[in-house]
Amino acid sequence: MLPEEIRGEISRARAALARAAVLGAWALLYLPLAWWWWPAAPLAATMVVVSARRLRAASDTYATLLEASVRLHLADLADKLRIEEQPMGPLLGGAVMRRLSSPAPAAEPAS
């Protein structure tokens, strides 16, 4: 129910977060190679530092966008779900989550 522009921003922020995590994974894969080929060690160290900085920036951006989207559009979602008028806050968030979550499946008796 979010506008296309906001969904696009969130998708781009999530993609940046994924790219930073992939860079960190590549850095970890280069570490064992340093045992046989010494230039892999400074390369891996550089990739770890760059990945950590990108992860921090991307996660901050992603979290900020998600929080802002929820704060701006939670009331609209509650209206669409026909949840009674409540002030913005934990009560409204809890009511929306209860409406959107599926009930836990009932445990089948052991036979």
From the list 39, 35, 37, 58, the residue with the least C-alpha distance to 47 is 39
Confidence band (pLDDT; 50, 70, 90) for 102? confident
**Residue 88 and residue 67 in contact, taking contact as beta carbons nearer than 8 Å:** no
**Residue 48 and residue 31 in contact, taking contact as beta carbons nearer than 8 Å:** no
**Rounded Cα distance, 93 and 31, in Å:** 44
Predicted confidence (pLDDT) at residue 103 exceeds the cutoff of 90: no
Residues 55-85, buried b or exposed e (16+ Cβ, 10 A)?
beebeebbeebeeebeeeeebebbeeeeeee
pTM score? 0.76
Query: Residues 8-53: pLDDT tens digits?
Result: 999 999 999 999 999 999 999 998 998 899 999 999 999 999 999 9
Query: Residues 43-86: pLDDT tens digits?
Result: 999 999 999 999 999 999 999 999 999 888 888 888 887 888 77
